[in-house]
Amino acid sequence: MTAEALTPAIEATDLSRSYDGGFEAVRGISLSVPRGEILALLGTNGAGKTSTVELLEGLAAPTGGTVRVLGHDPYRERSVVRPRIGVMLQEGGFPSDLTVAETVRMWAGCTSGARPTGEALGAVGLADREKVRIKQLSGGERRRLDLACALLGRPEVLFLDEPTTGLDAEGRRDTWELVRALRAQGTTVLLTTHYLEEAEALADRLAIMHQGRIVLSGTPAEVTAAQPARIRFALPADVPAARLPLGLKAAADGSRIEIRTHALQDDLTALLGWAHDHGVRLDGLDARTASLEEAFLDIASRTEDTPAGPKEPVIR
């Protein structure tokens, strides 16, 4: 195995980006994405995702820190990096009077080693739309065309910015399968998405940004495990919440009880044992682990002063 093959596909160290006026959109983030993995970069609008991705793609120079894509600086060594990456922007901006096939051929003329037009369109389910003009395509079909153009050069690293926006459920699933197939072939993928289900289904690792920093990262399971599980139920009218085992930290709203815990199995076992021993029926009992949505919303609700764990986590 060559030294290059051991180098992370994407690596950033203490990366920052400021704009005129002093606004710091990216505030010293570090990440490392191994080759052949999918990283989903999440965050609310204004979290710094777009500014970060533009730095990784080489579209702008960082204010501070370093970026390496396939071992090279994507901004200063753009001529080396660009032929080896694919970029799918939120909006391709294709000429409306060109046909689908004409658009792909035009794009292929600017792409080193471009795959055949028919192959590119077939990969995204547009083979039967090659003679249709761009202005006649649906929003979802335009997104597929964006993806076809991003894949023309058989990229080693693929940047996908909201890849399934505008797609119906079937189109979204088809895109997921294509992205999984690319990963199986060794392509490294960094995607941004507002669909948390998409991130959970596709990504090997997640990174959630907030106010210019990565505040939580890890596998989908690790990210959700950082949030407490919950147990909800209703007590009979004659059983006050004060009778619950003291070890269970419960919040009561009338007869409705909610327990948040990082030891779901142990606390649920204690609760059920107590209910059995005292002959108490727990109506509407519902126990579940935290969801990615709960983790995301918890981070989105934070302010500058809210503790968020380690200040500068490194994704490994």
Task: Provide the percentage of residues in the chain whose pLDDT is more than 90.
Answer: 72
pLDDT for position 139: 86
Give residue-wise pLDDT tens across range 165-213: 888 888 899 899 999 999 999 999 999 998 999 999 999 999 999 999 9
Does the predicted model carry a pTM greater than 0.85? no
Q: What is the mean pLDDT of residues 46-67?
A: 95
Lowest mean pLDDT across 66-70, 184-188, 299-303: 299-303
Q: Which of 224, 246, 267 is the last residue of a domain?
A: 224
217 inside domain: yes
Range of the domain at 201: 3-96+150-224
Q: Clarify whether residues 90 and 217 are in a common domain.
A: yes
Are residues 169 and 49 located together in one domain of the fold? yes
Say what the pLDDT of residue 275 is.
96
Q: Which residue has the higher pLDDT, 54 or 310?
A: 54
The answer to whether the beta carbons of residues 296 and 196 sit under 8 Å apart is yes
Q: Do 70 and 167 sit in the same domain of this protein?
A: yes
In the predicted structure, residue 100 carries a pLDDT above the cut 90? yes
Q: Is the pLDDT of residue 309 over 50?
A: no
- Domain tally, the chain: 2
CA distance 157 to 153: 10
Position 99 scores a pLDDT of 95
Instruction: With CA atoms as reference, report the closest residue to 223 among 307, 294, 314.
Output: 294
| Residue 18 to residue 70: CA distance in whole angstroms | 25
Q: Are residues 282 and 171 in the same domain?
A: no
Q: Is residue 22 part of a domain?
A: yes
pLDDT at 193: 92
Do 215 and 237 lie in one domain? The reply is: no
Query: Does any domain span residue 105?
Result: no
Domain contains 278:
yes
Instruction: Decide if 297 is inside a domain.
Output: no
Q: Domain check: are 241 and 218 in the same one?
A: no
Residue 313 lies in a domain: no
Q: Is 216 exposed, middle or buried (0-12, 13-18, 19+ CB in 10 A)?
A: buried
pLDDT of residue 303: 64
* Domain C-terminal end among 224, 243, 272: 224
Domain for residue 123, yes or no? no
Helix (H, G, I), strand (E, B) or coil at 290: coil
Which pLDDT band, with edges at 50, 70 and 90, does 129 fall under?
very high
Q: Is the dihedral of CA 104, 105, 111, 113 positive or negative?
A: positive
Are 81 and 166 within one domain?
yes
Co-location of 52 and 197 in the same domain: yes
pLDDT of residue 315: 43
Same domain, 215 and 232: no
Say if residue 15's pLDDT is above 70: yes
> What is the bridge-based pairing of β-strands 229-234 and 256-261?
antiparallel
Asked if residue 307 has pLDDT above 70, the reply is: no
Same domain, 239 and 191: no
Q: What is the CATH number for 22?
A: 3.40.50.300
Q: SS3 for 66? A: strand
How far is residue 117's CA from residue 145's CA, in Å, rounded to a whole number? Answer: 11
Query: Looking at 178, 196, 224, which one is the last position of a domain?
Result: 224
**Confidence bin at 311 (pLDDT 50/70/90):** very low
Q: Which residue has the higher pLDDT, 89 or 202?
A: 202
241, pLDDT greater than 60: yes
Question: Is the same domain home to 73 and 87?
Answer: yes
Instruction: Give yes or no: residues 92 and 236 share one domain.
Output: no
Q: Is residue 306 part of a domain?
A: no
> Residue 7 pLDDT more than 80?
yes
Residue 48 phi/psi, 5° resolution?
115, 5
Question: Residue 83: what pLDDT?
Answer: 93
Predicted pLDDT of residue 120: 93
Q: How confident is the model at residue 310 (pLDDT cuts 50, 70, 90)?
A: very low
